[in-house]
Amino acid sequence: MRTRSFPALVPLLVLALLATPAGATTVTDPDDVAGKLDLATVTGTKTDATAPLKIRITTYENWAARLLRESGRNRVIVLFNVDTDPETEYRGAIVYAGGDLVMRIRGEGSSFEPLLVRHPNGHTLRTVVPGGSPPNPDGRVRIAVRSRLYDDAECADGCRDRAPNGGWVLVP
Ligand SMILES: [Ca+2]
Ligand SMILES: [Ca+2]
Ligand SMILES: [Ca+2]
């Protein structure tokens, strides 16, 4: 499997000036599983057909980034459905590696360079997938998020969530 590069990023300052609430889609998932990775909301924002895809994920509880350490089994995974069939084409696994949270996207025989993921408070994850890339092709994209958590208490056998429980967040 070869590692692919994303196209050059448009300077972030320009994106910030152009960004508006338009093009954002949010899905709220219920407080439906035990453990710290119970997903609460997924927001996808794409201001036009060729724009970067901004993804924001929140959970009901606060947790430290190292909960997703690479050597463990806990994960938050973004699913990308980039066409009209119901199947996932790309999966972005969010892990804590080398002191940073990153998302590693794979699928369709490719793996991509890691994307930085921000964890500005205990319960939010934010990342941006460059426009015009296989997991964020021009036009609409469908995403969903899965989580899985193992701990010594209520999630000894694994706690798993999906947001939304069925279907997709259609962006924009
Ligand atoms: Ca949930
Ligand atoms: Ca698909
Ligand atoms: Ca759910």
pLDDT by position in tens, the chain (length 172): 678 888 765 555 544 444 445 789 999 999 999 999 999 999 999 999 999 999 999 999 999 999 999 999 999 999 999 999 999 999 999 999 999 999 999 999 999 999 999 999 999 999 999 999 999 999 999 999 999 999 988 999 999 999 999 999 999 9
The domain spans of the chain are: 28-171
Q: What is the pTM of this model?
A: 0.89
- Ligand 1 centre to CA of 146 (Å) is 9
Q: Class for domain 28-171, per CATH?
A: mainly beta
- Ligand 1 centre to CA of 37 (Å) is 8
**Cα(69)–Cα(112) distance, rounded to whole angstroms?**
19
Q: What SS3 state is found at 150?
A: coil
- Ligand 3 centre to CA of 72 (Å) is 22
Are 56 and 125 in contact by the 8 Å Cβ rule? The answer is: yes
Query: Any idea which ligand is nearest the CA of 162?
Result: 3
Pull the structure tokens for residue 71: 């050597």
Would you state the pLDDT for residue 11?
Answer: 54
Would you state the pLDDT for residue 21?
Answer: 58
Identify the CA nearest to 125 among candidates 169, 80, 78: 78
- Ligand 1 centre to CA of 161 (Å) is 6
| Largest distance between two CA atoms of the chain | 46
- Ligand 1 centre to CA of 61 (Å) is 10
Would you state the pLDDT for residue 9?
Answer: 56
Query: Any idea which ligand is nearest the CA of 59?
Result: 1
- Ligand 1 centre to CA of 162 (Å) is 7
